[in-house]
Every structure is written in C-alpha cells, then in structure tokens.
Structure 1
Amino acid sequence: MARRKYVSHENAVDRGKLDNTRINLQQNLKNKSITTRVKWFMSEFLAVTAAAAARILFAIHGIAAIWRVALVYKQNKYWFQAITLFGIPVEFFVTLYVNNGHEWK
C-alpha cells in the first residue's frame, strides 16, 4: 500500500489531473487548519523518529551482544563484529531518502 499523501482538492478539475495539481503541504502549512498540521506531524515527524529509535535500539542490542560474547570467551577479537553496526546509519538515510521519509512497507 502506498504512503498516504495529503493533497488539496480545491484546484483539481478532474481526479485524473490530481497529480498535476498537488500542492506541497510544507510550503502552505501556515494556511492550513490545525487538523492538517497534526496529520503532517503524525505522518512525517513521528515516522522519522520511530525509524531512528528502532535503529538505535538495534545498535544497542548489537553492542550488548558483542560485549557479552567478548566477555564470556575473554577474547577481544569479537569486537570486530561491531564494524557491521556502521551500516545502520547508512541504511537509515538511504531508506528515508528513497521512501520520502518513511519506512519500507
């Protein structure tokens, strides 16, 4: 299912021409009602925040697991596995860029 986009229908002559009449919500946010502002906040800001929180928890879990393995086996070579955690921010920014600020569906 595609991400919901909030568009203005006042200027649309026909639903088929709706793509040509889309108005950028962020530019016209001052003229919109509080309901539209809340919808934008819920769809944009909270989506990015939830995505970042999930990746931070995943990184903490990875560090804790590597720390525990290194502690039990008494070998520091296991810390090299932490290099893979540097891919998490890369994946985060690629996902948000490709999906316009949202996670994969």
Structure 2
Amino acid sequence: MSIVTSSRPGLELAEAFALFDRPRLVNCDSTSRIAQLEARQALYDYVDELWKDIDRAGEHPSVGEKYQAITSLRELAQVLRSTAFESVYGSAG
C-alpha cells in the first residue's frame, strides 16, 4: 500500500509551502535571505547527489514508486531553492 496520494507530492507540497515561505523571505533582511539560499542549495545538492548515485547504479529514480521519496524531496528542494533565489536576486521576467 502506498501512502502517496499524488503523482507529484513534492511539487504540491512546495507550492503549498510557498504561500507561507515567500512572504517570510520578503520580510527577512538580505543576510538572512542569502543564508536561506545557501542552506537550500546545500539541501538540493545533497538530494541531487543521491539521485545521481541511483542513476549511476543503473536505476531510474524518476520511474515507479521505489524512489518516490527521493523524487519528491528533490522536487521540493528545487522549488525551495528557486524561491530563495528569487528572494535574493528577484524573479525573472
């Protein structure tokens, strides 16, 4: 039995969290926003290395339920990183 109720739970969680995260980051000073970006980049890098380890082992982390936790956390970390990046450097467009 799978506890996953969505095909993209990491992305859905990130979008829901962003409703609270963006306003908080806006109210932080620039030093705090940079610290958030660095921390989120470190998290993303770690999870991405796990992803690459699985890929190098000949597995496909983006397919099936076996690696759903890593896939979801990678999506979440990517959005967290992007949100912090936007708070430091502004959004494109």
Same fold (TM over 0.5): no
Q: Whose RCO is larger (CA < 8 A, sep 6+)?
A: 2
- Alignment TM-score, normalising by the size of structure 2: 0.41
Q: Which structure has the bigger radius of gyration? A: 1
